[in-house]
Amino acid sequence: MALTTAPDPTRRGTGSVRPPATRRGTGRIRHAEGLAGYVFLSPWLIGLMGITAIPMLLSLYLSFTNYDILTPWSEVEWVGLANYERMFTSDPSWWHSVRVTLSFALIAVPLKLAAALGVALLLNRAWRGVGLLRGLFYLPSLLGGSVALAIVWVNMFNREGAFNSFLALFGIEGKPWVNDPDWALETLMVLAIWQFGAPMVIFLAGLKQVPTELYEAASVDGAGKFRKFVNVTLPMLSPVIFFNLVLETINGFQGFTAAFVLSNGTGGPVDSTLMYTLNLYITGFTDLEMGYASAMAWVFLIAIALITVVFFSTGRFWVHYSDGEDR
């Protein structure tokens, strides 16, 4: 399981992930408190076991079987590594879904973060109306993950959609973008980028924390605006950039709803929107190959864990924490 939370980057100095120390009482009180601790923790513990741990183990077991929901448990066959072998060697649609998911995350996430940072920089001034604008930019992040908005999006990029009307203003003839295998995934990327508000709000909070003395010092040293951005803003913002990058990447890998709506649950046109999670859903709940779907889920989990580890181990080289200085 990936051990991954960036301590809240917008509040430097309070980011310990360890639980706060509690005072030691006398023996009897400590015993009573220990008991109380487990009483309060019990719903979470039951959930951890029943909803997370046992299903994970069951899923691991299933990934070595040919289980489908229809055959009784007594007839389930142990197939060893066959599911994994099939995934890597003889399932082109699995490889395809990996490519679709990777290209979605690699393109949409950086663009979304760039939009978020750009708009945050524009907003990072105290004047009237900033609160309202910030709220309006955030609105798509609240609505964008819904089925309703995905439906709107698909129609907007359809033949009679708003996007083609817009192109027509410039005399460009559009096409039904969502039905074109070369463009369908791109429309979903635009939908993801449109929701730049959530990372933007986090960037804004980070920008507020950059000490103005640093800019003054840079001015004294004769730095221009570009130099200040590169040498002051970006390094000071790097914990927030890191935090957004990790979260958005992992969210990006899990995109499901919009791809489901665009393709009516098939991953089409011509598998162009077959996101990994959609492929997993189709395998498990349409084709009922739950053993194979479990193997896919485990590969997904390991991939996410690996990516997180890579992020955290490379972050050391470019993320600048000022912890301790302003504590």
> Which CB, 81 or 139, lies closer to another protein?
139
Q: List CB contacts of 221: < 8 A, sequence separation 6 or more.
A: none
Minimal distance in Å, beta carbon 327 to another protein? 15
- Pick 103 or 146: Cβ nearer another protein: 146
Nearer to another protein, 46 or 310 (CB): 46
- In angstroms, what is the minimal distance from the CB of 81 to another protein? 18
Q: Which is nearer to another protein, 286 or 314 (CB)?
A: 286
Supply the minimum distance, in Å, between the C-beta of residue 65 and another protein: 12
Q: How far apart are CA 6 and CA 242, in angstroms?
A: 8
Residue 86 tokens, joined: 């099939």
Nearer to another protein, 185 or 290 (CB): 290
What are the residues facing 65 on neighbouring strands? 78
Instruction: Say how many CA atoms lie within 13 Å of 245 toward its Cβ.
Output: 18
CB of 75 to another protein, least distance (A): 15
Q: Which is nearer to another protein, 266 or 322 (CB)?
A: 266
- Spell out the residues 6+ positions from residue 271 whose beta carbon is closer than 8 angstroms to its own: 93, 96, 97, 100, 181
**Least separation, in Å, of the C-beta of 292 and another protein?**
10
264: three-class secondary structure by DSSP: coil
CB of 317 to another protein, least distance (A): 22
Q: Which residues, 6+ apart, have CB-to-CB distance to 198 below 8 Å?
A: 116, 138, 141
Identity of the residue numbered 171: G
Q: Distance (Å, rounded) from C-alpha 18 to C-alpha 190?
A: 38
- Rounded CA separation 143/192 (Å): 11
| For another protein, the closer CB: 148 or 324 | 148
Shortest Å, Cβ 80 to another protein: 19
- Is 94 in contact with 278 (CB distance < 8 Å)? no
